[in-house]
Structure 1
Amino acid sequence: MKIKLFLFSCFFILMLTPSVMAQKFGYVDTEFILKKMPEYQEAQKEINKLSETWQSEIEESYKEIQGMYDELQAEDVLLTKAMREERMKEIQHKEEEVKAYHKKVFGFEGMFFLKKKELIKPVQDKVFEAVSKVAKEKRLQVIFDKSGSLVMIYTDPIHDYTDYVLEELGLGDPNDTVK
């Protein structure tokens, strides 16, 4: 009985092996592809501009707070305890407002995150559609992203489909022929 079960298991494994080995895979470098796309570069410029604007607003607010602290320290000897406490409350309130604004802008799912998502997602969707089309045309079951967190110690260029995706997006090098 054990021998029959062992032979059946071996037969089952042998039957599965060809189907596993027949799978085709490839990889693309989405970071490289995105850098070639003018709409991605424009989105990045807009994101950077917004980030710099918001960051400078926050820095300006912190400078204002520092000025309030400096003013308080300079006038400290002239203020009563109640006046000093009132000023400290104002400064702390201003600090809390700036921290809340910073969180609203740069925090998890803040305005920066949402704007980046809004600008980048259509470009990423376009790349995904091109990758899907190339995968179907080349009959690939799996495509890895070389630029992602997946670590590839060695990659054979024969499995690199980045150029095909660039061609699909109309961004291929006219001097480069993809076969």
Structure 2
Amino acid sequence: MKKIVLMTVLVFAFAIHASAQKYALVDMEYILKNIPSYEMANEQLNQVSQRWQKEVEEKAKQAEQLYKDYQSNMVFLTEDMKTKKEEEILAKEKEVNELRRNYFGPEGELFKKRESLMKPIQDDIYNAVKKISEEKGYMMILDRASSSSIIFASPRIDISNEVLAKLGYSK
């Protein structure tokens, strides 16, 4: 019985303490859409990605053409020539996979480019959110765009426009 009473008192104490804290929300999608440098960086990434994708596709077509040529001429080739052609095809396919990994892999060029273009923007947003949090005494600021668990939140606690204003993009 003492444990139940103690647990009840603790739950109420935590509930009272939690309600005294100030919370706010930001909408990162909204903020990013209203920052022109983010849109330009996104466009630049899309162009680079498309160019690299074209390059990879061209190499893949070359490998496919080598394989088709090999299949159509296979009856005319000696065993040594077959082996040489097979090695050539495998080398070309390996080159395609290596190029794809270098451009689009987890540590590839696209990842590095995205990081170099987006990190300064993200850092600026983070610093603006941090300053607002310190000025207004918020204990926690949540991103409503990335949190699918937020079903409803009062627009009064959304500080997205304040973040934009702090960054110099007033709405």
Q: TM-score, normalised by structure 2?
A: 0.90
What is the SS of the residue equivalent to 2:115?
Answer: helix
1:170 aligns with: 168
Is 1:144 equivalent to 2:142 in the alignment? yes
1:153 aligns with: 151
1:96 aligns with: 94
1:82 aligns with: 80
Report the identity percentage.
34
Per-residue deviation, 1:151: 2.4
1:127 aligns with: 125
Partners of 1:76 and 1:16 lie apart in 2 by: 78
Per-residue deviation, 1:88: 0.9
Per-residue deviation, 1:167: 1.2
User: Aligned pair count?
Assistant: 171
- The 1:123–1:81 alpha-carbon spacing in structure 2 relative to 1, beyond 3 Å, is same
Partners of 1:98 and 1:23 lie apart in 2 by: 55
Among candidates 21, 26, 29, match of residue 27 of structure 2? 29
Partners of 1:81 and 1:165 lie apart in 2 by: 69
Partners of 2:65 and 2:78 lie apart in 1 by: 20
2:116 aligns with: 118
1:177 aligns with: none
Is 1:51 equivalent to 2:18 in the alignment? no
Partners of 2:162 and 2:31 lie apart in 1 by: 10
Q: TM-score, normalised by structure 1?
A: 0.86
User: What 5-or-longer segments of structure 1 have no aligned partner?
Assistant: 174-179
User: What 5-or-longer segments of structure 2 have no aligned partner?
Assistant: none
Amino acid at match of 1:45: E
Q: Which moved more, 1:156-165 or 1:55-64?
A: 156-165
Per-residue deviation, 1:156: 1.4
Q: Which moved more, 1:46-55 or 1:118-127?
A: 46-55
Amino acid at match of 1:61: K
- The 1:15–1:71 alpha-carbon spacing in structure 2 relative to 1, beyond 3 Å, is closer
What is the SS of the residue equivalent to 1:27?
Answer: strand
